[in-house]
Amino acid sequence: MTNPELSRRRFLAASGAVGIGGPVALTRSSRVAARESARAVDDSTDQQQGTQPQPGAWPMFQSDAANTGYQIDGVGPSEGVTVRWQFTPGSRQILGRDVSGILSSPAVTSGTVYIGANDGNVYAKDAESGNIQWQHEAGEVLARSPAVVDGTVYAGASTGKQPIYALNAQDGTEQWSFDTINTLGRATKGRSPSSPTVVDGTVYVGSAETTIVDPRGAVYALDAATGNREWVARVEGYVDGTPAVDGESVYVGGSTGTVYAFDIDTGEIQWQFETNDVVRSSPTVVDGTVFVGSNDTNVYAIDAETGEQRWQHVTRRGVQSSPSVADGVVYVGSDDGGLYALDVMTGRRRWRYPTGGFVRSSPTIVGNTVYVGSSSSSVHAVDADSGQRRWRFETDGNVLSSPAAVDGSLYVAALGGSVYALSGTSPSSSVS
């Protein structure tokens, strides 16, 4: 396999491709310093706007805007689980066949579980009892994970004219919707937006803008309060993974095998890094390094400032799972069935845990436990240090979504049909 090639070329955008208002006359470092100063003044506002989750919450895919998948003060079931409640939504007809199940990962905040389902509904359920608080009919398959920030649920349908929308978290009423059709000034059909990332009053989302002869993708920055477009950047191929955001850049992967870094304020491209196959893995950015998987079987560590490769680790098959990072270790799944723990500095393997099926679920790390789903119709809890199994729970279908661990419970959805609320048990009653 050839080594990935790095190119740092300026973004040649079509008219309207870099957003309203034009470039901001601040250096990247001064913008970061200004944001950090504001966060130091009011950390509570920072929590509400998504840069870090409030205690007892898992508000979006991979918990936070950087996609770390880690909560240092979180609590999850470590010794075993029992089912507190199980919810199975309905199905819908698409092209003459029933489509059911759940690909979306749950978001949990303020005692409510939010989930999108393939039956076309967004559900809000009481985290303790499982009772439905409200449901919103989107009319399209909801395969992406919602983000819940500052009293609003942001979600995207897999198809349709309005794939991005905002709902009131209390009652599900629609606040705004955003239509990707014709946003790039050409005959397009918007489909398959990524799961949204919401931080500092902006929604970042990737999408596919398709024509028959010119399939392309886009990354959008939308005002979280109004849905107005702040900027849009075009890329080659579609953007399937959830954007990762730090103080200065937005990172995404594309179907052409490219990882991109965009300026957070303007959408101007900063660098792009080439892998050798499709990138469906969502990037994770921690301490100046971007971690991402590729279908070329590798996990990559990329310098967040320059786009230069720091290391790569090869697995046996493609990597569509998104990396999670905690305490100097990168945890990531592979289609070879393994959950890997890699040294964050070198990429050296510390351990590999076999799940019995391919792993496209992204690991969730709480305390000293790693939780991950598998196509073996199961969820696994693994000791973060040793890679030894703590417990395994069988579901009613493949688990491609990522678990949410909140207040000692684990919430996870299965493609076969159900979302589960799992409570911790004593070791003697744990699931084998």
Query: Per-residue pLDDT tens for 285-303?
Result: 999 999 999 999 999 999 9
> What is the number of H-type helices and E-type strands within the chain?
2, 37
Name which of 117-121, 145-149, 219-223 the model is least confident about: 117-121
- The whole-number pLDDT of residue 141 equals 65
CB atoms within 10 A of CB 179: 14
Is residue 33 classed as helix, strand or coil in its secondary structure?
helix
Give the residue extent of every domain in the chain.
6-429
**212-229: average pLDDT:** 87
**Is residue 360 over pLDDT 90?**
yes
> What are the residues whose beta carbons fall under 8 Å from the beta carbon of 243, sequence distance 6 or more?
194, 197, 204, 205, 206, 219, 250, 251, 252, 282, 283
* Best CATH choice for the domain 6-429 from the list 3.30.2310.20, 3.20.20.70, 1.10.238.10, 2.130.10.10: 2.130.10.10
Q: What percent of the chain has pLDDT over 90?
A: 63
Place of tokens 């490219």: 258
> What are the residues whose beta carbons fall under 8 Å from the beta carbon of 326, sequence distance 6 or more?
68, 69, 70, 72, 365, 384
**264-279: average pLDDT:** 97
* Contact present, 409 and 77 (Cβ < 8 Å): yes
**Is residue 189 over pLDDT 60?**
no
pLDDT, tens digit, for every residue of 384-430?
Answer: 999 999 999 999 999 999 999 999 999 999 987 799 999 997 443 33
**Residues 161, 177: Cα–Cα separation, whole Å:** 10
Among left, alpha and beta (phi > 0; psi -120 to 50; other), residue 352 is beta
- Half-sphere exposure at residue 264, Cβ-oriented, CA atoms within 13 angstroms: 27
**Residues 6, 45: Cα–Cα separation, whole Å:** 38
How is residue 109 written in tokens?
Answer: 């905040």
Which residue in 365, 361, 366, 371 sits closest to 401, CA to CA?
Answer: 361
pLDDT, tens digit, for every residue of 151-183?
Answer: 999 998 766 555 788 999 999 999 999 876 555
- The whole-number pLDDT of residue 212 equals 54
**Is residue 201 over pLDDT 90?**
yes
Entry pTM: 0.86
DSSP run (H or E) holding 36 = helix 28-41
- The whole-number pLDDT of residue 138 equals 79
72 compared with 30, residue with greater pLDDT? 72
pLDDT, tens digit, for every residue of 72-114?
Answer: 888 999 989 999 999 988 766 665 666 667 788 999 999 999 9
- The whole-number pLDDT of residue 205 equals 93
